Amino acid sequence: MDRPEPENPDVLPSTALAYLDRNYWDKRFAQEEHYEWFKDYSHFRHIVLQHIKPQSSVLELGCGNSQLCEELYRDGITELTCIDLSPIAVEKMKQRLINKGYKEIKVLEADMLDLPFEDGCFDVVIEKGTMDVLFVDSGDPWNPHPATVEKVMKMLHEIHRVLKPEGIFISITFGQPHFRRRFFSDPEFTWSIEWNTFGETFHYFFYVLKKGQRSLESEEYREKTHIPSISLYHDELEGEDFLFRTNIDEMES
């Protein structure tokens, strides 16, 4: 099922830069019960289940009011922790999960740039559309502002730190490989990089980064792989994804 337009159009910001503002998210979550960025779980469940086992401990970054954690829970993945920067998102998510009886899922207010967890404590870290927020004021996507680079690297450093030695980072995004690889493949990280796509007209990317599996061979292979350039027209993107991408589109054209 495709994601609907926001029920209340008042939650749409006038500019994508609002996505960097915590007050924007608080205000939005106070008014909105559910919104699924990009696609819902049914579109990528088949890929998730190849990588997340029922016994995996999973951290979801920037859960918002998405149903991702509930869907994982229904698939038997019960050791789940969700974080979000917005206290309103966190309170509402806690209440929703209690009401549904999913009491084991932990939800807490936290910043993904400074995770309140010990080193090596999760099998999987997953995010959908959350890292993309850091790119909304990146400037030229081929040469992002130093402030963007710093934030993205901080986020990745934290993810790498909290993953177990053979843990996996899953990133679900519209960020194309030629814009994400420069971050993912930083020598600081020991993970290998793979991706799949899903979606119909517009393809979203499902990155799988496996800690401790870095292989120069696979990197060279990736360098040589032709990545088709995806030309985006506004009506190809569904609903709010368009707004989210506005800055990047401007720079790509």
Ligand X SMILES: C[S@@+](CC[C@H](N)C(=O)[O-])C[C@H]1O[C@@H](n2cnc3c(N)ncnc32)[C@H](O)[C@@H]1O
- Which spans of this chain sit near ligand X (rule: CB under 6 A)? 25, 36-37, 61-64, 66, 83-86, 89, 111-113, 128-130, 133
Residue nearest to ligand X (CB): 62
Q: Which is nearer to ligand X, 128 or 210 (CB)?
A: 128
Q: Which is nearer to ligand X, 86 or 138 (CB)?
A: 86
- CA dist 247 and 145 (Å) reads 13
Q: How far is CA 185 from CA 139, 210, 248, in A?
A: 21, 12, 21
Question: In angstroms, what is the minimal distance from the CB of 169 to ligand X?
Answer: 14
Q: Which is nearer to ligand X, 133 or 163 (CB)?
A: 133
Question: In angstroms, what is the minimal distance from the CB of 22 to ligand X?
Answer: 7
Residue 149: count other Cβ atoms within 10 Å of its Cβ: 16
Question: In angstroms, what is the minimal distance from the CB of 165 to ligand X?
Answer: 24
Task: Dig out the tokens for 101 from the structure.
Answer: 């009886």
In the sheet that holds 106-109, the strands lie side by side as 106-109, 79-84, 57-61, 122-128, 163-173, 204-210, 192-198
CA–CA–CA angle 93, 165, 67 (5° rounding): 20
Q: Which is nearer to ligand X, 83 or 107 (CB)?
A: 83
Question: In angstroms, what is the minimal distance from the CB of 109 to ligand X?
Answer: 9
Question: In angstroms, what is the minimal distance from the CB of 214 to ligand X?
Answer: 26
- Whether residue 68 contacts residue 42, with contact meaning beta carbons closer than 8 Å, is answered with no
- CA dist 225 and 188 (Å) reads 23
Q: Which is nearer to ligand X, 90 or 193 (CB)?
A: 90
